[in-house]
């Protein structure tokens, strides 16, 4: 991947360089972890997140092994949106 000098003015970037920069900047992690992570995704309390998780509504977005919970943020929001 081409390294772009941070001192380069934006108007001197090629479209390709600009797109690479915006992709890097907008890169967001895809997963959250635990009930606190689910509460963060949904913008609610941990107890409400626990209720939503227990309802089964987000089962397709949640991977759980013992006490470890991994949530696919995008899929969880899609599934939650379909219900509401």
Arithmetic mean of pLDDT, 25-42: 88
Residue 54 in this model has a pLDDT that exceeds 80: yes
- Residue 83 has a pLDDT of 61
pLDDT band of residue 49 (cuts 50, 70, 90) is: very high
pTM of the model: 0.65
Angstrom CA distances, 4 to 12, 26, 28, stand at 11, 17, 21
- Residue 1 has a pLDDT of 57
| Domain range list for the chain | 31-83
* Residue from 34, 26, 41 nearest 69 by CA: 34
- Is the distance from CB of 30 to CB of 72 less than 8 angstroms? yes
- What is the tens place of the pLDDT at every residue in 12-25? 999 998 888 888 77
Strands 68-72 and 31-33: antiparallel
Both tokens of 56, joined, read: 């089964």
What rounded mean pLDDT belongs to the chain?
89
| Length of the chain in terms of residues written | 84
């Amino acid at each position: 991947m081409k390294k772009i000098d941070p001192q380069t003015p934006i108007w001197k970037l090629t479209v390709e360089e600009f797109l690479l920069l915006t992709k890097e900047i907008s890169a967001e992690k895809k997963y959250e972890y635990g009930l606190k992570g689910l509460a963060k995704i949904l913008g609610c309390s941990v107890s409400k997140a626990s209720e939503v998780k227990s309802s089964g509504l987000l089962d397709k977005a949640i991977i759980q092994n013992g006490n470890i919970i991994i949530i696919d943020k995008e899929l969880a929001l899609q599934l939650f949106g379909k219900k509401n």
